[in-house]
Amino acid sequence: MCLPIGPTFVLPQRRYASISLLPLARDYLEQDRLSLQRIVAPQKRVIGYVTPPERKKIDERALHRSTLWRFLQFLGTQSVALQLGLQLCSEHDPLFTDHRFLGAVAPHKYRSPHRGEILRTARRLLHLIDHWNRMFAESFFPRFATRSRPP
């Protein structure tokens, strides 16, 4: 099966580019005091699309906290990509020790064990992506991650 080739910064079937959501997801998981709402609207400024002046209908779509949460869920379900990525990084650099990174997340950011596991996996994946992009010429998203999904 051949996947369609698209821009390297866009994940399939996503409205926002990964380069804009990855830093927001990373900030949310790394900074204990930040909420999803404060991440998507820093200092009460809206992140999103602006209606072009030639359009009569106002259509200013803003990034909503649920969009960032769905992106975090997407990252948290990429366990196959995480495991394969860790394996490839370990093979590339024998001194690579990120497999030991547990990805702890502040306990107040989740209510259930399942959500906690999703956030920990997402944090581990974001940590891996930082190292991956320094090690390899091919970026982690979307080429590697979308091809490492289970059949």
pLDDT for residue 102 is more than 90: no
pTM of this structure = 0.75
Distance CA 26, CA 29 (A): 5
User: Which segment of 19-28, 36-45, 61-70, 102-111 scores lowest on mean pLDDT?
Assistant: 36-45
pLDDT for residue 3 is more than 90: no
**77 compared with 139, residue with greater pLDDT:** 77
The average pLDDT across 93-108 equals 85
For residue 70, how far is the Cα from the chain centroid?
10
User: Which segment of 6-10, 17-21, 23-27, 127-131 scores lowest on mean pLDDT?
Assistant: 6-10
